[in-house]
Amino acid sequence: MKQLFKLLLLVAFVCAVAYTISYAGARATVGRFLGLQPPEMGTRAIRFAYDGVAALPGKPRVWEFSYSRVSINGNRPAKIYVSPGGKIVATVPKDLDRMLEAFAKSKEVQ
């Protein structure tokens, strides 16, 4: 019984470490995606979609970063989906990367 308890603790620890590393990687990816001086993004919510996201092809499990209002998007909501491995799967709106690039270029001119 003692060995089973130790094994259970070890598995829980490994899962917690994997979760933390995945979360940190997703946060870093979104940070690089938004740039050094991101536009006003409003309130951010982060969740891991264990059941997958039905709106995406294949219904993948992803980290979902939701922003309440994005200034470069007409103050509408935006979402960034990041895989557990740290790669951007999709964004809503689909051209969010183009909008961020245009915003960054406008900041460089000033």
pLDDT in tens, 1-16: 899 999 999 999 999 9
Q: How confident is the model at residue 95 (pLDDT cuts 50, 70, 90)?
A: very high
* Secondary structure letter of residue 94 according to DSSP: T
Which is it for strands 76-82 and 62-70: parallel, antiparallel or unpaired?
antiparallel
pLDDT at residue 37, as a whole number:
83
* Side-chain half-sphere CA neighbours of 16 within 13 A: 6
Looking at the chain, the whole-number percentage of residues with pLDDT higher than 90 is 76
- 40-44, 71-75, 103-107: segment of lowest average pLDDT: 103-107
pLDDT at residue 110, as a whole number:
65
**Residue 83 confidence (pLDDT) above 70:** yes
pLDDT at residue 90, as a whole number:
96
Q: How confident is the model at residue 82 (pLDDT cuts 50, 70, 90)?
A: very high
Q: What is the mean pLDDT of the chain?
A: 92
pTM: 0.90
**Domain span including residue 37:** 2-109
Assess contact for 88 and 80: CB atoms under 8 A: yes
Q: How many domains does the chain have?
A: 1
